[in-house]
Amino acid sequence: MGRIITNLNEFMASQPATKPTTAPPKTTPSTTPSRPSPIRRDKPAVEPKPQAKIEDVVKKFMKELKKKNQPFELDLKKLKQEYGKN
């Protein structure tokens, strides 16, 4: 059985002053493979839709302009400067 300490100073003196140093646990790779994840990352969840063709975009743009039936000014120099980099 342990000794009964009645004085606080005796108790503090019996405790170590600093925390003992411990080496970090060494990790080793396991020999068995881990369980596969239920979420598969190797393929997309849905099939991507095909991109619009230039002709379709132009037709849609012209159709919307005709619906509006108002004068519309198009600054081709600014558009060419902005989008003509490709």
Report, in this order, helix, strand and coil percent for the chain, each rounded to 5: 35, 0, 65
Which residues, in sequence order, are CB contacts of 81 under 8 Å at separation 6+? Answer: none
Structural domain tally of the chain?
1
Report yes or no on 38 lying in a domain: no
Report yes or no on 67 lying in a domain: yes
Report yes or no on 60 lying in a domain: yes
Handedness of CA 28, 33, 38, 43 (dihedral sign): positive
Domain of residue 61, residue span: 50-86
- Residue 39 and residue 44: Cα distance in Å, rounded? 11
Report yes or no on 72 lying in a domain: yes
Return phi, psi of residue 79, to 5°.
Answer: -65, -40
Report yes or no on 15 lying in a domain: no
Report yes or no on 58 lying in a domain: yes
Report yes or no on 86 lying in a domain: yes
Q: Please report, in tens digits, the pLDDT of each residue of the chain (86 residues total).
A: 566 767 777 777 776 667 767 777 777 777 777 787 777 677 666 777 778 888 898 899 889 888 888 777 778 888 888 877 65
The pTM assigned to this predicted structure is 0.31
Quote the pLDDT of residue 68.
83
